[in-house]
Amino acid sequence: MSVFKGSAVAIVTPFHEKDLTVNYDAFAEQIDYQIGHGTDAIVVCGSTGEAATLTEQEHKDVCKFCIEYVKGRVPVIAGTGSNSTATAIDLSVEAQKDGADALLIVSPYYNKGTQEGLFLHYKAIADAVNIPVIMYNVPSRTGVNIAPATQARIVKEVPNVVGVKEASGNISQIVELMALTDGNIELYSGNDDQVVPLLSMGGLGVISVVANIAPQAMHDMCAKFFEGDLAGAQKLQRDTFEIFKYLFCEVNPIPVKKAVDLMGLNAGPLRMPLTEMTPANAEKLAQAMKNFGLI
């Protein structure tokens, strides 16, 4: 059985304005909003959740709060990756202990590693836990690409590494991956503008930034595809493109936190080095949201 099918939100982490501590009341409100509007799973402490600026203890606390507050209503996937294998193992073991349904592990960034190093990194983490692991391939952030052959080797040789969030944007690479695995991998889109193309290759859904503000639309896009309503899925892919465009006109999660605030859900400020969205881009984002009926 797959970890989830449909749309998982890569949820933002709200902070208090005054001291930038985690705003758990606002976080609970966002979780309820997501579950009430069709989201099929929640990914906590991912890139969109500003995990890179959380202390290790904050990281563990945010994951634990999310798991406990969700109370099994939808699967919770904890982002527990690090460029340090030992740190990733520590975060992963803690998330499993707290009840995470699965883990999302980004490839090592900055120090990167060879393809053999990537294999050993994922194997060491997966061997330390017994819940499903989803790889996260996002070369634009990490500086390293998990090659299709390496991804295929990992899922074949490491039993609880079951899938990948593919955000390389390289459709040819994704087709190669599905060929190498004969489709026996849980494939999730990491790019909101490529959901339907990946579903057409046997994908199971998306781990979505757009879902922070349009969870029902992202759920419906996947659901329509699975129901055989390809035209309906394609229309939603087209209709959400303007939102996607302005949610990524500055570094994620700068725009999506602004968008969450525009909807009346308190995302709070960003932690440095991220800065507030420029007024000109914020205006364009607001217009795109109005066009889609979000505000």
Amino acid making up residue 65: F
In a domain, 286, yes or no: no
> CA 60, CA 114: separation in Å to the nearest integer?
28
In a domain, 238, yes or no: no
> CA 192, CA 248: separation in Å to the nearest integer?
10
**pLDDT tens digits, residue range 202-248?**
999 999 999 999 999 999 999 999 999 999 999 999 999 999 999 99
User: pTM of the full predicted structure?
Assistant: 0.97
Q: Is 90 exceeded by the pLDDT of residue 1? A: no
In a domain, 112, yes or no: yes
pLDDT (mean) for 274-279: 98
Which residues pair with residue 105 across a beta bridge?
135
**pLDDT tens digits, residue range 66-86?**
999 999 999 999 999 999 999
> CA 34, CA 45: separation in Å to the nearest integer?
16
pLDDT attached to residue 237: 98
pLDDT attached to residue 175: 98
- Of 48, 47, 66, 55, whose CA–CA distance to 21 is shortest? 55
- What is the overall mean pLDDT for the chain? 98
- Contact call for residues 132 and 98 (beta carbons, < 8 A): no
φ, ψ of residue 195 to 5 degrees: the values are: -65, -55
Q: What is the CATH number of the domain that holds 105?
A: 3.20.20.70
- Contact call for residues 42 and 207 (beta carbons, < 8 A): no
Instruction: Centre a 10 Å sphere on the Cβ of residue 99 and count the other Cβ atoms it contains.
Output: 16
In a domain, 232, yes or no: no
> CA 29, CA 26: separation in Å to the nearest integer?
5
**pLDDT tens digits, residue range 89-105?**
999 999 999 999 999 99
Confidence of residue 29 (pLDDT cuts 50, 70, 90): very high
Q: What residues are annotated to the active site?
A: 136, 165
In a domain, 180, yes or no: yes
Total domains in the fold of the chain: 1
Confidence of residue 168 (pLDDT cuts 50, 70, 90): very high
| Host domain of residue 128 | 6-227
In a domain, 206, yes or no: yes
**pLDDT tens digits, residue range 109-160?**
999 999 999 999 999 999 999 999 999 999 999 999 999 999 999 999 999 9
- Contact call for residues 68 and 34 (beta carbons, < 8 A): no
In a domain, 255, yes or no: no
With residue 186 as reference, give the H or E element that holds it.
Answer: strand 186-189
**pLDDT tens digits, residue range 169-214?**
999 999 999 999 999 999 999 999 999 999 999 999 999 999 999 9
- Contact call for residues 88 and 105 (beta carbons, < 8 A): yes
